[in-house]
């Protein structure tokens, strides 16, 4: 049996396991009206407990959504396109991303609204590869890092493998960027239901991932990398929840927490985010 076939068998096995776990979750959380009522009451109680623990957050949505299993190829196809870029020195990295320094820095960028200038840069095919696949991301951007995320299927990629990150000085000068691009994106199966924002927040709290005296700054349903094979990677819908502790060793640090939107499992972060909204961000 060739190695490529073994890879896909493992991939299918992972997905089957995920579907089974989600089906079990759906079975356990459905049923008679009184059970649903009790669950609602329990969730409400937990949210009150969170507020009693000085955890502040906006009222989370109870509405579930939908998402795909996304497959991408791990190849160096972007490397062959680097010669089409101009006015920059580009280096292809071993992880498939590229690092570039502009020969003529871009000046006069509004640090409060950098997209006003950089949208034009990103859409210029001689400056950025596949730029039309990216959109400006205010949540991941900071004063000195401007982030554009690749759009796939029905959502953004929250991973360095699908992001453009511009370096921005305090004076409004862009000196260069890093870029990751997901090629040959395809959906592996039909849309599957995802858990609600409220459920993700509650489970994160119950897994002791939100300490007391913490603010939930923002939440976003996005795609993050689930696992990686030799020739392909799989991305899944993930609740990305940004929290900032007001005390302890991580006081003032904005941390990104990831919750599998299919199963509710806590995920590790592969996006290598360094700064978000002007604060240092740690990955777990």
Q: Which segments of the chain does DSSP mark as H helices, in order?
A: 3-28, 33-52, 115-122, 197-206
Q: Which of 185, 218, 239 is the last residue of a domain?
A: 185
Taking only the tens place, the pLDDT of each residue in 85-111 is 999 999 999 999 999 999 999 999 999
Judge if 113 and 137 occupy the same domain. Answer: yes
Res. 29: pLDDT tops 60? no
**Structural domain that includes position 174:** 73-185
Mean per-residue pLDDT over the chain, rounded: 85
Q: How far apart are CA 246 and CA 231, in angstroms?
A: 42
Judge if 56 and 115 occupy the same domain. Answer: no
Taking only the tens place, the pLDDT of each residue in 210-257 is 999 999 999 999 999 998 887 889 999 999 999 999 888 888 889 999
pLDDT over 90 for what percent of the chain?
A: 70
Res. 267: pLDDT tops 60? yes
Which CATH number fits the domain that encloses residue 166?
3.30.310.160
Judge if 180 and 202 occupy the same domain. Answer: no
Judge if 65 and 78 occupy the same domain. Answer: no
Q: Which of 153, 170, 185 is the last residue of a domain?
A: 185
Judge if 174 and 104 occupy the same domain. Answer: yes
Q: Which conformational region is residue 184 in: left (phi greater than 0), alpha (psi within -120 to 50 degrees), or beta?
A: left
Judge if 166 and 210 occupy the same domain. Answer: no
Which CATH number fits the domain that encloses residue 233?
2.40.128.690
Judge if 251 and 161 occupy the same domain. Answer: no
Dihedral angle sign, alpha carbons of residues 52, 55, 56, 59: negative
Judge if 46 and 92 occupy the same domain. Answer: no
pLDDT at 174: 98
Of 169, 178, 272, the closest CA to residue 225 belongs to: 272
Q: Which two tokens stand for residue 67?
A: 């998402």
Domains contained in the chain, number? 2
Taking only the tens place, the pLDDT of each residue in 31-60 is 433 444 455 569 999 999 999 999 999 999
Determine the 3-state secondary structure of 35 from DSSP: helix
Judge if 81 and 12 occupy the same domain. Answer: no
Judge if 86 and 39 occupy the same domain. Answer: no
Q: How far apart are CA 115 and CA 101, in angstroms?
A: 19
Q: Which of 185, 208, 233 is the last residue of a domain?
A: 185
pLDDT at 20: 52
Judge if 77 and 181 occupy the same domain. Answer: yes
User: Would the pTM of this model clear 0.85, i.e. be above it?
Assistant: no
Judge if 112 and 152 occupy the same domain. Answer: yes
Q: How far apart are CA 145 and CA 180, in angstroms?
A: 15
Taking only the tens place, the pLDDT of each residue in 156-204 is 999 999 999 999 999 999 999 999 999 999 998 889 999 999 999 999 9
């Amino acid at each position: 049996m060739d190695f490529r076939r073994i890879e896909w068998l493992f991939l299918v096995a992972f997905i089957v396991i995920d579907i089974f776990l989600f089906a079990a979750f759906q079975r356990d959380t459905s049923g008679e009206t009184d059970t649903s009522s009790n669950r609602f009451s329990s969730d409400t109680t937990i949210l009150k407990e969170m507020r009693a623990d000085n955890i502040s957050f906006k009222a989370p949505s109870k509405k579930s959504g939908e998402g795909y299993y996304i497959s991408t190829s791990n190849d160096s196809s972007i490397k062959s396109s680097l010669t089409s870029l101009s006015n920059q020195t580009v280096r292809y990295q071993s992880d498939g991303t590229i690092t570039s320094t502009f020969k003529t820095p871009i000046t006069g960028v509004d640090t409060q609204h950098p997209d006003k200038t950089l949208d034009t840069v990103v859409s210029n095919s001689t400056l950025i590869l596949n730029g039309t696949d990216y959109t400006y991301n205010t949540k991941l951007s900071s004063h000195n890092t401007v982030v554009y995320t690749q759009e796939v299927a029905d959502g953004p990629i929250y991973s360095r493998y699908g992001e453009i990150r511009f370096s921005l000085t305090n004076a409004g000068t862009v000196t260069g960027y890093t870029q990751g691009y997901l090629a040959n994106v395809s959906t592996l199966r039909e849309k599957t239901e995802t858990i609600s924002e409220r459920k993700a927040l509650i489970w994160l709290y119950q897994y002791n991932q939100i300490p007391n005296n913490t603010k939930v700054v923002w939440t976003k349903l996005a795609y993050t990398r689930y696992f990686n094979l030799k020739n392909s990677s799989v991305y899944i819908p993930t609740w990305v929840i940004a929290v900032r502790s007001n005390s302890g060793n991580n006081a003032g640090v904005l941390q990104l927490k990831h919750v599998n939107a299919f199963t509710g499992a806590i995920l590790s972060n592969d996006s290598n985010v360094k700064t978000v909204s002007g604060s240092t961000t740690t990955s777990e």
